[in-house]
Structure 1
Amino acid sequence: MRDRGETVRNGAIQLLLAVNAVIMIYPLFVMVTSSFKTNAEIFSSPLSLPTHFSTANLEKVWTETNFVRYLANSVGITAASVALILLFSTLAGYAIARYRFKLSSLVLMFFLSGMTVPLKLAIIPLFIQLDTLGLVDSYLGLVLVYVAMGIPSAVFIMTGFLRTLPRELEESARMDGASELRIMWSIMLPLARPALVIVAIQNAVPIWNDFFFPLVLITSDNLKTLPQGLTVFVGEFTTDWGVLFTGLTLAALPITLLYVVLSKQFISGITQGAVK
């Protein structure tokens, strides 16, 4: 009876997961297939496969719009922001987790306080401050906002993970004459790779998809990111839906590939954190 009940429960869980997967994947499937359709075909049969797969929308997006520029802006801003978040959060998390000093708990609470208030609530004073510094309508201003937004949770994750690593590793390395920088770079950081991947993905996805801060801080068309730039595909009176769906598909592709490449490390980091 116990085996039968466990089988029924596992079957119900698998069925629930399958239904959830269909709910999540089907809109993406419709988006991708619609990118190969004409406007007339999208309106006449929105949920069916295209009668013939045309690349006209892709050619129009690539040659007649500023999509390539928007894509390059998003790649550059996301890569720079994630790199700086990883750098600063790793250094701060390592110092808090691996060194004993009186104010370590206070320093950690200082970083964690940044998770309590969303940065969007401070958009008016933030805009005034960036405008005073001449950073409005610039890559640097947007990157600094994303770094400030991502560091608190990144420090929290890195500190928690680095605290679980055994101290015998660094103590033995010190006895062998290794410097503190060498210990961190060659011994600790390779072991913390799953946490680094979690931080990278956790910050890359919202930065890549963010529409709010580019809308407020970026005005020049050449500086727009993909979410903001895709709005130019929506006309006041008419919209070329095939082109729009193609742009959305291309915009989702890089971050999807990033997750696929790093998914093994991402899942490993989550499961290690759960066990520890």
Structure 2
Amino acid sequence: MNKARRNIWHSIAAHGILLSYTVLALFPVFVILINSFKTRKAIFRNPLQLPGPDTFSTIGYDTVLKQGDFFLYFQNSLIVTVVSLFFVLLFGAMAAFALAEYRFKGNALLGLFLALGIMIPIRIGTVAILKMMVASGLVNTLTALILVYTAQGLPLAVFILTEFMKQVSEDLKNAGRIDGLSEYAIFFRLVLPLVRPAMATVAVFNMIPIWNDLWFPLILAPSEATKTLTLGSQVFIGQFVTNWNAVLAALSMAIIPVLVLYVIFSRQLIRGITSGAVK
């Protein structure tokens, strides 16, 4: 009985801690959202107060929708993020499967080489990347951003997925081979469904940096046709004057897709992070 009570209290405490962290994490988002519907004066006078009859205003959203092509920026960000995540997960999972499944000379060194990308920021090679894209004729294209973000996300994807691939039952894979399945069929039909939590974890960890990045869109794709949402929002930020209503409105609309994707992947994300922590 005492053990059952302790388990109940531990469960209540764990949920309480999780709720507290959730509130702390969402509080800045809440502040941005409420201030995006307020007048400029109300933003600075009472930033934590909810918009009322005297302070409510949609001028920020009106400005965002009229000045610049917000929907094009949104579309560009969505395309770059989704396609980059697809290639990161596909190539990362295939490389992780090869490293975990096949034993060959230089296996450990190859895994270490791929993991070095986690420790060495890709921005160090910005000049070389820019020269490469200019020589390839890919400047001011979404393809340039997709290639860079795919290369940026692969080291972490390989590092995480390799450990999960090693935990997949050898008997299951051998049974598939006995049944005549090819290595590709074993990978896509047997292994990938079992590592979905890890795939979701990799997707979330790469999704937010790609969606919020300003550095590479500014350098590789600054044209009006290829601007991402984060870069397009910078038009409201000036050296001397900043349109805070428009900035907060743009940020509010940019946050929504990230929250939606996070909610979709949240259960798999938690499973991926805590997998192996409790036996």
Q: With the length of structure 1 as denominator, give the TM-score of the two structures.
A: 0.89
Contact 1:94-1:162 within 8 A present in 2 as well: yes
1:13 offset after TM fit, Å? 8.1
Q: Which residue of 2 aligns with 1:26?
A: 27
Whether 1:197 aligns to 2:200 is yes
Q: Which residue of 1 aligns with 2:191?
A: 188
Q: Which residue of 2 aligns with 1:219?
A: 222
Q: Which runs of 5+ in 1 are unaligned?
A: none
1:160 offset after TM fit, Å? 0.7
Q: Which residue of 1 aligns with 2:43?
A: 42
Contact 1:70-1:223 within 8 A present in 2 as well: yes
Write out per-residue CA displacement over residues 18-38 of structure 1, whole angstroms, 9 at most, x where no aligned residue.
665554332221110011112
Q: What is the SS of the residue equivalent to 2:65?
A: helix
Q: With the length of structure 2 as denominator, give the TM-score of the two structures.
A: 0.88
Q: Which residue of 1 aligns with 2:160?
A: 157
Contact 2:68-2:232 within 8 A present in 1 as well: no
Letter in 1 for 2:40: N
Q: Which residue of 1 aligns with 2:267?
A: 264
1:102 offset after TM fit, Å? 2.3
Task: Tell me how many residue pairs correspond in the alignment.
Answer: 275
Q: What is the SS of the residue equivalent to 1:79?
A: helix
Whether 1:108 aligns to 2:111 is yes
Contact 2:73-2:226 within 8 A present in 1 as well: yes
* Aligned ranges 1:1-276 → 2 under 5 Å: 20-52=21-53, 53-275=56-278
Write out per-residue CA displacement over residues 145-166 of structure 1, whole angstroms, 9 at most, x where no aligned residue.
1111111111111111000111
Letter in 1 for 2:113: F
Write out per-residue CA displacement over residues 36-67 of structure 1, whole angstroms, 9 at most, x where no aligned residue.
11213223322211013544433432344321
Letter in 1 for 2:29: L
Write out per-residue CA displacement over residues 88-115 of structure 1, whole angstroms, 9 at most, x where no aligned residue.
1111111111122223222212211222
Write out per-residue CA displacement over residues 131-184 of structure 1, whole angstroms, 9 at most, x where no aligned residue.
222222221111111111111111111111000111000111111222222111
Of the structure 1 ranges 103-112 and 245-254, higher mean CA displacement relative to structure 2 is found in 103-112
Partners of 2:119 and 2:263 in 1: how far apart? 31
Partners of 2:230 and 2:128 in 1: how far apart? 24
Partners of 1:207 and 1:273 in 2: how far apart? 28
Partners of 2:261 and 2:85 in 1: how far apart? 13
Q: What is the SS of the residue equivalent to 1:114?
A: helix
Q: What is the SS of the residue equivalent to 1:223?
A: coil
Percent identity of paired positions between Structure 1 and Structure 2? 39
Partners of 2:265 and 2:16 in 1: how far apart? 27
Q: Report the CA distance shift for 1:11/1:92 in structure 2 as closer, same or farther (over 3 A).
A: closer
Contact 1:161-1:273 within 8 A present in 2 as well: no
Q: What root-mean-square deviation, in Å, do the aligned CA atoms of Structure 1 and Structure 2 show?
A: 2.6
1:216 offset after TM fit, Å? 1.7
